[in-house]
Amino acid sequence: MTALMWTVLALVPPLIFALYFLKLRRQPLEVPSTYLWKKTIEDLHVNSLWQRLRNSLLLLLQLLLALLLILACINPGCEGETLSGDRLIFLIDNSASMSATDVEGSDSRLDDAKKQIGNLIDRMDEGAVGMLISFSDSAVPVQSYTTNHSILKSRLNEIEQTQHSTDINEALVAASGLANPGRTSDRESAVDIQVADALEATIFIYSDGGVREVPAFSFGEKLFAEYHPVGGAEIPDNVGITAFSISDQADSDTQVQAYARIQNSSDEDQSVDLSLYVDDQLLDARAAVTIRKESSIGLQFDLTGVVDNMSGPVPVRLEIENDDVYKQDNSGYAVLNPPRLPNVLVITDYNRYLEMVCNDELGRFDFQPESFIEDDRYLKDAQLGTWDLIIYDRCVPETMPVANTVFIGAIPPVEGWSAEEKRAPTSILDINAGHPVMSAVQMGNVDILDSQPLAGPEGADSLMDSVDGTIIMIAPRGGFQDLVLGFSLIEIDPSGSPVSNTNWPIRLSFPLFFQNVVTELGGSSAFAASRGASPGTLVRLKSKVPYDSVTVTGPDGTNTSLKPGDDSTFMFAQTEQCGIYTVREPGGTVDHLFPVNLFDRRESDLKVRDTLDLGYEEMESSESQMKPVTKDFWPWFVGFALVVLVIEWYIYNKRVFI
């Protein structure tokens, strides 16, 4: 601006001031006495200059208005920085390790990451679009592309800490897909439409770097990425439980032990105190357990005494008593559920070999004659799922039961199953030893007289092949499995006497096979929810007896009611928290417990990685690229001046004050 313009601007306030006093022409009015009026305005002193100014709100507002407009004309501004790039994607790690409290000035690493991203959002250009994706073991698009930076920040603050492990691959794929959606589908016409050409976008990854390996990912030409490590400057001292389990009671008759693995991820030797709680009562403790730097040790705890006195499911918890920056791996959970024997119904008119191998230690067996198939109790209980496994020996039900089945010398009444004509003595060619049912089963010395080659429905697995074809086959049926033996163990000759069809029952492999069948198909393994799950995973629960519903109580006390699926199991997905979950039957009695643990060595290792290995490329930590900008304030001044103008207009019309 020229000197003349400055002078004109400078003259505006005095001009308003002068005009104000010049324009004030009061109407004279004769009154009986000014005595009372004088007393009235005594305090106000309207005639004194200062008081007049004080009460002349309109004058002050006019001066303020002029000042604001002058400031707007001067066009003040400040030098600032703004993020380069118009399309920005923020990936924020909210996995378990981000809850570490080793960052000064922030509650956690996640909090620090949020602050950093918040600062970046503040520096985004007005027209720049931003996207927000959070990732742990899966990616969640928190906010798709938007130019509304306040929404972006508000969604950023809504991101919550998870207790999951970290897998960045899905987030990267999602980011690259969402960054430049090449095509979009029109739902109504089912036609893919080519959208705009790919545009450049920048991905900002905020993580501590403890991510699973990315098999192969390439950003391509239009995508640029920056990695910003989040975490304290030094490697924090952290000792965590990376494994905690209880030996299978079925494996050992005498001893039940809990195994734990303790990891020290810091660069110094650490010494910690450990306590083992059973049913919230301290059972065992180890003081000053020393773990060498960047290594781990194994610990064992004897729980035999607990099992002997156990009347129901018991929670077991291992605690590291020392405080550190990462709390989640300081607890490990396991449960001791009472051994559960499968309910097996065996329908046979006569089969002494089966009677021989069915002992009470393997399961609860119920032998019934063939006529039982038409019994009301069978018809009802078979549809209720009372039995875990039903063995049909040379007989076939009308409809398939709600249970796993074994058919010996018979074909299930299910579409897809068929058998060829009976063949003369056959020899066994091969067995599918990889299948758990055939585990450790050796058939070399087994002879079979009559057999029928089998053909199963889609998805069927051959377990044993003879020279004539498959003679043992297993196939899924909904949530169940049907195992079919194409030969019988015993035949009844025309005179009514039993005749052996194979020498298998007298071989060692038969009881092994039968034990595998009962263990696998009897549901003993399906009951292994006690093995535990990882946070966020789906858990399949099976109650001791079929219920219409069960209630699962989480570690925080929240209750979830579940309805059974077709196979009488319950699917539970709310496993966000680590801890012990309690499954209750409708009556409220505890059915069983199951633990949820993270047990991720990568999460427990709190070292902040400077580089991020993304398969094809390795990313190093970098600073965000900023470009200098001048921030103008004149729109603020003009806006404020408008507000002042409105207030002045209101006061002038309403005469609010003197």
Partner 1 sequence: MAKSQSTKTLSASGKEEDGPLLSPALLAQLERMELVSRKIFRGRMKGERRSKRKGQSVEFADFRNYVPGDDLRFIDWNMYARLDKLFLKLFLEEEDLHFYALVDSSLSMTFGSPSKFRYAKQLAGALGYIGLCRADRVKIEALDGSKVNKAPVLRGRTSMWRMVEHLEAMKAGSTATLNEAVRSFCLRNTGKGILVIITDLMDKTGYESALRYLTAQNMDVYLIHVLSQEEIDPEITGDLRLVDCEDSDIAEISVSQRLIDRYRQTLASFIEKARDFASRRGIVYMMTSTERPVDRLVSRYLRQRGLVR
Give the footprint of partner 1 on residues 33-72 (CB under 8 A): 33-41, 44, 46-47
Tell me if 19 contacts partner 1 by CB under 8 A.
no
Tell me if 183 contacts partner 1 by CB under 8 A.
no
Number of residues that bind partner 1 (CB under 8 A): 25
Stretch of 18-26, 201-209, 378-386, 409-417 contacting partner 1, by CB under 8 A: 18-26
DSSP for 570-592, written as a single string: EEE----S-EEEEEE-TTS-EEE
- Candidates 4, 7, 22, 30; binder of partner 1 (CB under 8 A) is 30
446 touches 471 (CB < 8 A): no
Contacts of 433 (CB under 8 A, 6+ apart): 439, 441
Stretch of 30-38, 388-396, 421-429, 635-643 contacting partner 1, by CB under 8 A: 30-38
* Shortest spacing between CB 61 and partner 1, in angstroms: 16
* Shortest spacing between CB 62 and partner 1, in angstroms: 16
Neighbours of 296 (CB within 10 A): 18
149-158 and 109-122 are packed helices; what angle lies between their axes, rounded to 10 degrees? 180
Give the footprint of partner 1 on residues 628-657 (CB under 8 A): 655-657
Stretch of 24-32, 164-172, 329-337, 594-602 contacting partner 1, by CB under 8 A: 24-32
Tell me if 10 contacts partner 1 by CB under 8 A.
no
Tell me if 31 contacts partner 1 by CB under 8 A.
yes
Give the footprint of partner 1 on residues 258-297 (CB under 8 A): none
Q: 58 vs 243, which CB is nearer to partner 1?
A: 58
Q: 45 vs 352, which CB is nearer to partner 1?
A: 45
248: Cα within 13 Å, side-chain hemisphere: 9
Judged by DSSP in three states, 3 sits in helix
Contacts of 118 (CB under 8 A, 6+ apart): 153, 156, 157
Q: 183 vs 654, which CB is nearer to partner 1?
A: 654
Distance, in Å, from the CA atom of 307 to the CA atom of 545, rounded to the nearest integer, reads: 22
* Shortest spacing between CB 60 and partner 1, in angstroms: 15
Q: 187 vs 655, which CB is nearer to partner 1?
A: 655
Residue with tokens 């074994």: 406
Distance, in Å, from the CA atom of 303 to the CA atom of 280, rounded to the nearest integer, reads: 14
Question: Torsion-angle region of residue 627: left (phi > 0), alpha (psi -120 to 50) or beta?
Answer: beta
Residue with tokens 């060829």: 420
Tell me if 22 contacts partner 1 by CB under 8 A.
no
* Shortest spacing between CB 27 and partner 1, in angstroms: 5
| Helix ranges, 49-167 (H) | 49-55, 57-74, 109-122, 149-158
Tell me if 571 contacts partner 1 by CB under 8 A.
no
Q: 42 vs 323, which CB is nearer to partner 1?
A: 42
Stretch of 32-40, 112-120, 178-186, 275-283 contacting partner 1, by CB under 8 A: 32-40
* Shortest spacing between CB 43 and partner 1, in angstroms: 8
Contacts of 397 (CB under 8 A, 6+ apart): 373, 382, 413
Q: Which of 620, 526, 591 is nearest to 229 (CA)?
A: 620
Residues at the interface with partner 1 (CB under 8 A): 24-41, 44, 46-47, 655-658
